[in-house]
């Protein structure tokens, strides 16, 4: 991997890209079975040995996480050449449920393990959110690295990582809307309205990210880099889909959304400055400057109006909200460790170096 710093080329405008993506390549027996099934019409013909393989799988590993992502994508835009009927195939859903149980059990175990013995209660939402309200000191995170010492190839890798979420930004959180009521619903919809461009298609955040990708010389087609990104970023997107598709996890999804909105503005400021330092195109900077002011407002709405009203109506969801916050932190820390570990070693953080 070359470490020569580059500069962003002139923006050419982000194409709309294909509505659906091509199926990715498998990363193990589980993802291979799912992908092979999807190449034919349903019903599923899944190997009987898969149940045992699910039980042995690394919950954060490449194979399980890709298999889950592919299953979830059937509820978003699907894949080119894959029948829409796969979305509700009973056997595939049964396999997905097994994958989810392994992933969710690991998240619950590890969020508890991370907590210090003197940590606040698992139902204390205010205490769970409080550390996120304090802007972290300079020097430790991914945005700090990119701001102070990052090179252009590392910035482009970071953008490729984030593309597997940001090209469908806010879509997973929309699933929680019909599961809320009153002020919580109204306020969350207000936040989503901003995420979806305030009624202007060219301002939809997913579109702004596509423009960012084009400005950075990357292909903005939907899920173009799914084959290239490793499990740590895939797991973060899978957490959103998992919580969004299960009504029982609505509190966790609200906790995730709140954690994301609270932590976005400080990082966005640093990313905008990093891109300016690297001489990036204006549309690259715009994506992050758009988030600085908006998400500073969103975090207050999420804390006071969404979480506050939700827990007033359903106080039993407090533990789920806390879990959503902690699981978000856990997976973001795992991603940061992966990125910084690779970059400080001078190697690519992707599964293969970017070709464009």
Does 173 score more than 80 pLDDT?
yes
The CA distance from 64 to 204, in Å, is: 31
H-assigned helices in the chain: 29-38, 50-56, 62-73, 90-114, 125-129, 142-148, 152-166, 171-174, 182-195, 205-215, 231-245, 250-277, 282-300, 308-313, 318-344
Rg (CA), the chain: 20
Q: Is the peptide bond before 232 cis (omega within 30 degrees of 0)?
A: no
> For 32-63, what is each residue's pLDDT tens digit?
999 999 999 999 889 888 989 999 999 999 99
The CA distance from 339 to 330, in Å, is: 14
The confidence score (pLDDT) of residue 136 equals 63
* Residue whose entry in the numeric block shows the structure tokens 């102070």: 148
Asked whether the beta carbons of 333 and 140 are under 8 A apart, the reply is no
Instruction: Decide: helix, strand or coil at residue 21.
Output: strand
The confidence score (pLDDT) of residue 188 equals 97
Q: CB count, 10 Å around CB of 151?
A: 16
The CA distance from 64 to 62, in Å, is: 6
Does 18 score more than 60 pLDDT?
no
Q: Which CATH architecture has domain 125-344?
A: Up-down Bundle (1.20)
Does 189 score more than 80 pLDDT?
yes
Does 263 score more than 80 pLDDT?
yes
Does 325 score more than 70 pLDDT?
yes
DSSP character at residue 304: I
> For 117-158, what is each residue's pLDDT tens digit?
445 579 999 999 988 877 665 667 999 999 999 999 999 999
Write out the two tokens for 148.
């102070």
pTM of structure: 0.92
The confidence score (pLDDT) of residue 135 equals 65
In the chain, where the domains are located: 29-114, 125-344
Write out the two tokens for 274.
């990093």
First to last CA, the chain: 13
């Amino acid at each position: 991997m070359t470490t020569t710093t580059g500069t962003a080329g002139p923006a050419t405008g982000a194409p709309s890209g294909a509505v659906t993506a091509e199926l990715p390549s498998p990363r193990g027996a589980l993802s291979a079975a799912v992908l092979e099934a999807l190449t034919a019409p349903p019903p599923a013909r899944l190997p009987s040995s898969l149940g045992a393989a699910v039980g042995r799988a690394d919950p954060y590993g490449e194979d399980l996480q890709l298999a889950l992502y592919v299953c979830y994508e059937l509820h978003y835009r699907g894949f080119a050449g894959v029948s829409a009927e796969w979305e509700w195939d009973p056997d595939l859903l049964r396999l997905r449920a097994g994958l989810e149980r392994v992933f969710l059990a690991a998240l619950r175990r590890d969020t508890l393990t991370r907590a210090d013995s003197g940590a606040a209660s698992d139902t204390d939402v205010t205490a769970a959110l409080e550390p996120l309200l304090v802007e972290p000191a300079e020097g430790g995170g991914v945005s700090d690295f990119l701001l102070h010492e990052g090179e252009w190839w590392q910035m482009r890798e970071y953008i490729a990582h984030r593309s597997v979420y940001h090209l469908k930004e806010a879509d997973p959180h929309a699933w929680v809307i019909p599961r809320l009521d009153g002020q919580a619903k109204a306020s969350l919809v207000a936040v989503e309205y901003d995420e979806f461009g305030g009624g202007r298609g060219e301002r939809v955040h997913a579109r702004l990210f596509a423009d960012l990708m084009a400005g950075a010389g990357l292909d903005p087609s939907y899920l173009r880099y799914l084959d290239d990104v490793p499990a740590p970023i895939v797991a973060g997107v899978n957490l959103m889909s998992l919580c969004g598709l299960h009504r029982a996890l609505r509190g966790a999804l609200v906790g995730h959304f709140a954690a994301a909105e609270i932590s976005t503005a400080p990082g966005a400021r640093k990313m905008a400055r990093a891109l300016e330092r690297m001489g990036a195109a204006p549309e690259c900077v715009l994506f992050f400057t758009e988030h600085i002011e908006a998400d500073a407002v969103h975090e207050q709405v999420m804390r006071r109006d969404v979480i506050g009203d939700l827990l007033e109506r359903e106080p039993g969801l407090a533990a789920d909200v806390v879990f959503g916050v902690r699981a978000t932190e856990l997976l973001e820390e795992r991603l940061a460790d992966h990125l910084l570990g690779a970059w400080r070693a001078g190697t690519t953080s992707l599964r293969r170096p970017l070709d464009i």
